Structure 1
Amino acid sequence: MPRPGQTKSQGERFSDRIAIGVLTRAFPPELVDEVVAACGRTEQRSRLLPARVVVYFVLAMCLFSGQGYEEVARLLTWGLERLGRWERGWRVPTTAAISRARARLGPEPLEVLFARVCRPVAGPDTPGAWFRGWRLVAVDGTTFDVPDSDANAGFFGRPGAARGGAGGAFPQVRVAVLAECGTHAVFAVQAGPLAVHETELARGLFDALGPGMLVLADRGFVGFDRWRETAATGADLVWRVKRDAVLPVVEALPDGSYVSHIVAARDRDRRADPSRVRVVEYTLPGDTTVYRLITTILDHRAAPARELAGLYHERWEVETVLDEIKTHQGGPRLVLRSQHPDGVRQEIWAMFLVHHAIRDLMHQSCVPTGRDPDRVSFTRALRVVRRQVTDQAAFSPQDTRPGTRRHPS
């Protein structure tokens, strides 16, 4: 209840705003059914675990990462059981039954669901999400440990194996992401074997970019072809480059930056077919390191050098995003569950779907007050969402439409 003198909105806590079934809020049953049908996963007969429920189970599995399969099923359906939302004959499936159901579903419905739902979420007034009218986004990569099965090791590979040794303890899947800096919402993901460098995976992210975005990237992503391909989306770029990059001064600008050009490595000597860039060089107080940024924004008045230098630290927001997913949502020393590559892909999409749902909900809770989403604790939001999913699960494990027959498989 609001305190004396407070309006209802002013008296609400963050937990009051987030206290809804986050999985079905973000991914309504009707949409899940549509995606399942589009992927050809609709069942021909009634099952104990129909495809819709398996989608929600996989999402819940990535929300309760430390729990076993059967415990996740109990957590997900406990609120429904308490409220009598299904026939008493329904039982919690075994681990083997859940594994078979996941295999039937495959990774495609989760991938399609991500493409349908996950977008940048910041509004025009979201604090920290914009720079002079550009939506700030950042690209980065990471790896996830996966179970040490022959299938996973053969498909994904393991760290160190390429150097002739036995390799690391676990195979790893490599992932590249695009995230909105102001809200931490991930809106593009690519995953592949460890041998595929994150800069190659990043090429699969470009379709999510467009005019009005400003893409931040670390020096590991810079490459002439990637630069051109990313700039061709219409987005503007601010990328850090290595100190030894050859950047001749073509035109000095009043703010201390200068116009230069970059070329492909194969054309370095001839300087053929160059792309014009603007270069910003700066140092930080107490540090002699010279930082070099290149940008597609050639007009220094539109984005002064000092402001771009101060802006670059926003790139680290994507590092925080990956920490939220791997350390807090997934738990310390996270190893994914799936013994087979298709299950790993399914799990990767689900991990990012759940994170996006939480981050979108956090953003929406901040809209009425204009609060910066970065000021809200992701860990606290995660705890609240976990509690509320068990209390307010919003789907039935069986089709409860009138006249529907229920025959467990």
Structure 2
Amino acid sequence: PGAFWRGLRLLAVDGTCWDVADSEANETAFGRPGSGRGSGRSAFPQVRMAALVEIGSHAVLDAELAGCRTGEVTLVGRLPRSTGPGQLVLADRGFLGVALWQAFTATGADLLWRVPANRVLPVTRQFRDGSWLSHIRASGGPARKEPVVVRVLAYRLKDRAGEGETDGYRLVTSLLDARRYPARQLAALYRERWEIESVFAEIKTHQRGARVVLSSKTADGVHQQIWAHLLVHHALRELMLRTAATRGLDPDRVSFTETLRSARRSVTVTPGSFSP
């Protein structure tokens, strides 16, 4: 569907982590997660990042950074500042909650999020396309008395061999009009959420380098390096869009890795010709 679907700009939110230099300052600022291998500590301190990405262009529109002990839900909760009317935000099941849902919808944005397997969503109204109206509630506090109305979609996917079906999926959306936004199309659209994983791979694997640890030994330096990577990625993606537009191509036909190689060649300078 590209960057838009039925007039809605497609965005996605998710989180990832960056390994940073093993220094006392970085460990103090960001923390060090457990390794899960018996030693109790990972090799490097880590920075957690939550990002808001435009699906069609792969452009990172906003991001939040914190230590690894800060949860993704907390960081994503700071990103509604960059959303608004005319947008459809996709997210995985780990983010579904009343407070976060309301934070995004209060900006005018619409949502399409996956539902955890254990969430109960009673039917209050059934639609012809198989979707139904339901509600979600906060786990406690005053907000529990004010349920949020959502529309639920349930479906199954064929396995890769085409011989059977995978486990069922459930999505909830703020798009309550079943005629204007058919359940089958929304289910197919949700696959686009995985594009944000491709964005993280572009930045952390191709641009930064696979298994590369950020070199700065101070918190300020780490922040500068991460934001520099995000800005370079944004510039590359903008270059790709402009190139595609001038040649009448679909932006997906332009290779990110080839664009990255070309950019690196273009900024190579003769030693001594550029002042430090």
Task: Mark yes or no: TM-score above 0.5.
Answer: yes
Question: Number of paired residues?
Answer: 269
Task: Work out whether 1:137 is the aligned partner of 2:15.
Answer: no
Select the structure with the greater relative contact order (CA < 8 A; seq sep ≥ 6).
1
- Whether the aligned pair in 2 keeps the contact of 1:256 and 1:305 (CA below 8 Å) is yes
- Whether the aligned pair in 2 keeps the contact of 1:136 and 1:182 (CA below 8 Å) is yes
Q: Which has the larger radius of gyration?
A: 1
Task: Work out whether 1:308 is the aligned partner of 2:174.
Answer: no
| Distance change in 2, residues 1:183/1:340 (3 Å) | same
Task: Work out whether 1:154 is the aligned partner of 2:47.
Answer: no
Match of 1:253 in 2: 127
Structure 1 residue identity aligned to 2:205: T
Residue of structure 1 aligned with 2:246, choices 361, 368, 377: 368
Which structure is higher in helix share? 1
- Whether the aligned pair in 2 keeps the contact of 1:176 and 1:189 (CA below 8 Å) is yes
- Whether the aligned pair in 2 keeps the contact of 1:128 and 1:372 (CA below 8 Å) is no
Q: Per-residue deviation at 1:389?
A: 1.8
Match of 1:324 in 2: 202
Q: Per-residue deviation at 1:374?
A: 2.1
Q: Distance in 2 between matches of 1:209 and 1:235?
A: 6
Task: Work out whether 1:168 is the aligned partner of 2:46.
Answer: no
Q: Per-residue deviation at 1:372?
A: 2.2
Match of 1:42 in 2: none
Match of 2:70 in 1: 196
- Whether the aligned pair in 2 keeps the contact of 1:179 and 1:185 (CA below 8 Å) is yes
Q: Distance in 2 between matches of 1:295 and 1:303?
A: 10
Provide Cα deviations, 1:137-159, integer angstroms capped at 9, x if missing partner: 10010000000000001111111
Q: Distance in 1 between matches of 2:78 and 2:186?
A: 26
Match of 2:153 in 1: 280
Residue of structure 1 aligned with 2:265, choices 387, 391, 395: 387
Give SS of 1:265's match: coil
Q: Distance in 1 between matches of 2:248 and 2:179?
A: 29
Give SS of 2:233's match: helix
Match of 1:72 in 2: none
Q: Per-residue deviation at 1:368?
A: 3.0
Match of 2:84 in 1: 210
Q: Per-residue deviation at 1:370?
A: 3.8
Give SS of 1:298's match: coil
Q: Distance in 2 between matches of 1:371 and 1:289?
A: 37
Q: Per-residue deviation at 1:332?
A: 1.5
Structure 2 residue identity aligned to 1:302: R
Q: Distance in 2 between matches of 1:234 and 1:367?
A: 30
Structure 1 residue identity aligned to 2:222: V
Give SS of 2:77's match: helix
Q: Distance in 2 between matches of 1:165 and 1:209?
A: 42
- Whether the aligned pair in 2 keeps the contact of 1:238 and 1:293 (CA below 8 Å) is yes
Q: Per-residue deviation at 1:375?
A: 2.4
TM-score, structure 2 as length reference: 0.92
Give SS of 2:140's match: helix
Q: Per-residue deviation at 1:283?
A: 0.2
Match of 2:213 in 1: 335
Q: Which runs of 5+ in 1 are unaligned?
A: 1-126, 399-409
Structure 1 residue identity aligned to 2:147: P
Give SS of 1:362's match: helix
Match of 1:25 in 2: none
Match of 1:13 in 2: none
Q: Distance in 2 between matches of 1:329 and 1:309?
A: 32
TM-score, structure 1 as length reference: 0.63
Provide Cα deviations, 1:13-52, integer angstroms capped at 9, x if missing partner: xxxxxxxxxxxxxxxxxxxxxxxxxxxxxxxxxxxxxxxx
Match of 2:161 in 1: none
Aligned ranges 1:10-409 → 2 under 5 Å: 128-160=2-34, 165-266=39-140, 272-285=145-158, 286-390=164-268, 397=275
Give SS of 1:182's match: coil
Provide Cα deviations, 1:310-358, integer angstroms capped at 9, x if missing partner: 0001000000000000000011112111100111111111110000000
Q: Which runs of 5+ in 2 are unaligned?
A: 159-163
Q: Per-residue deviation at 1:388?
A: 1.1
Q: Per-residue deviation at 1:165?
A: 5.0
Give SS of 2:268's match: helix
| Distance change in 2, residues 1:236/1:370 (3 Å) | farther
Structure 2 residue identity aligned to 1:385: A
| Distance change in 2, residues 1:338/1:186 (3 Å) | same
Give SS of 2:234's match: helix
Give SS of 2:210's match: coil
Q: Distance in 2 between matches of 1:372 and 1:182?
A: 10
- Whether the aligned pair in 2 keeps the contact of 1:243 and 1:290 (CA below 8 Å) is no
